[in-house]
Structure 1
């Protein structure tokens, strides 16, 4: 079994969905987990169940992000999972929509990474796992701004991996496809059953993924077993984007 014993992991958006599954997997692997989420009540409840620590955090508040990571130091593993989607054709979106999607899905990743890197560099060790999306690789009809932000996360992952390999820090991304999460449920509510069918049909395996399957990929990339992997994006998407 993969062990993260003796490591502290800071996971954003960890109260529900994929983030909660990652927090659970990391805690079971022995990590000291900090659950950071805007939903403080849900985060506290999960932390109590896992023996973890909960922090109410708005990831778009850069100063608050810096304080939270400073308070949690030393952070050995950072998982940037917080995210939000909006199903709408680009012409139906507004500047406020763009800024919200970019701030949560991309700027927050920059903020947490900027805050955590000095400590990791000083320690000569670090694992950063960014949860991006298959939409950032192939684009998403009705999700253009989300796709742009997630594509930015992939490029950022590669750049930070290049800058920090000499410090013993690995930086990788996980790109989920359609996963059974509250975010997917929101998309279905906005777009109807046809959205659900389209997401399922887009995978070679013909099904939705589970949050635990994404968590397993994040756990691997955070582990010693992945010590020679950096700058990569691992798709957990059932073959989405490969064609039929």
Structure 2
């Protein structure tokens, strides 16, 4: 992915200078948008996810060149607690601290519940929910030692409402909101906040692929797929951008959001206002 396509918001201050962030699932899409926004605001970042080694190298180098912040890559598999622990250790050994954790890694599978493959259920729950438990339990000791931190869980509009055929995803995202509230309560007096961002549809390469697939399968134009299929429940009829998600995450990671914790915050064009 050409990192030059993701630009920091106009007038973005370096409100995260000196901070260190770990962002899971951040080699593309929403996670990469958040990583770029954080780095543009002055944070050093650990990115994580799958991809071709040369593309990941380009992403890391592009982040550093364009933002002036430091970036490193962890190949940790979010289904494996030992590798998650190694990713947190990498952040601490490389940068000496860990201020911000973003749990963004996620996968999807669509199937009627009585036909839902058990292995797909287990994989979705492991990556979308259990990985956040592991990153949080491993990051909290460092945050407590340094006197504070920010935890941001990327949930979904499906953390607040359901859709058919997405049993594992909806269950995992509802679970993320519950986990967010518990962590917020346990850390409320320690200058640590924990919040969930709940996006509707966001313009990413994965969504673009869905549009093309749906257009072919339904035999309808792209514009109709966007309006009447993907965005049927999204009243503003437009995709959010990764830059919007990144800017909001940067605000939640900043000192300005010190009193916001335990919240599930939609960026969904009015979807959950129904």
Normalised by the length of structure 2, the TM-score is 0.84
Deviation at residue 166 of structure 1 after TM alignment: 1.7
Aligned with 1:199 (options 230, 237, 242): 230
Distance 1:183 1:151, change over 3 A: farther
User: In the alignment, is residue 222 of structure 1 matched against residue 222 of structure 2?
Assistant: no
Between the aligned partners of 1:186 and 1:103, the Cα distance in structure 2 is 24
User: In the alignment, is residue 57 of structure 1 matched against residue 91 of structure 2?
Assistant: no
Between the aligned partners of 1:188 and 1:107, the Cα distance in structure 2 is 29
RMSD: 1.7
Normalised by the length of structure 1, the TM-score is 0.94
Deviation at residue 190 of structure 1 after TM alignment: 6.1
Larger Rg: 2
Aligned with 1:25 (options 37, 47, 51): 37
Report the 3-state secondary structure (helix = DSSP H, G, I; strand = E; otherwise coil) of the residue aligned with 1:166.
coil
Contact 1:70–1:115 (8 Å) recurs in 2: no
- Superposition pairs for residues 1-244 of structure 1, below 5 Å? 1-2=12-13, 3-39=15-51, 41=53, 42-51=55-64, 52-73=71-92, 74-188=97-211, 192=217, 196=226, 197-243=228-274
* Runs of 5+ unmatched residues, structure 1: none
User: C-alpha deviations, 1:168-219, integer Å up to 9, x for none?
Assistant: 1000110010111233245446655686433212112111211111111111
- Higher mean alpha-carbon deviation, 168-177 vs 137-146, is at 137-146
Between the aligned partners of 1:49 and 1:149, the Cα distance in structure 2 is 33
Between the aligned partners of 1:211 and 1:158, the Cα distance in structure 2 is 25
- Higher mean alpha-carbon deviation, 151-160 vs 175-184, is at 175-184
Between the aligned partners of 2:195 and 2:233, the Cα distance in structure 1 is 24
Report the 3-state secondary structure (helix = DSSP H, G, I; strand = E; otherwise coil) of the residue aligned with 1:4.
coil
- Higher mean alpha-carbon deviation, 99-108 vs 29-38, is at 29-38
Distance 1:153 1:161, change over 3 A: same
Distance 1:57 1:44, change over 3 A: farther
Distance 1:24 1:148, change over 3 A: same
Distance 1:195 1:104, change over 3 A: farther
Report the 3-state secondary structure (helix = DSSP H, G, I; strand = E; otherwise coil) of the residue aligned with 2:156.
coil
Distance 1:190 1:147, change over 3 A: farther
Between the aligned partners of 1:56 and 1:20, the Cα distance in structure 2 is 14
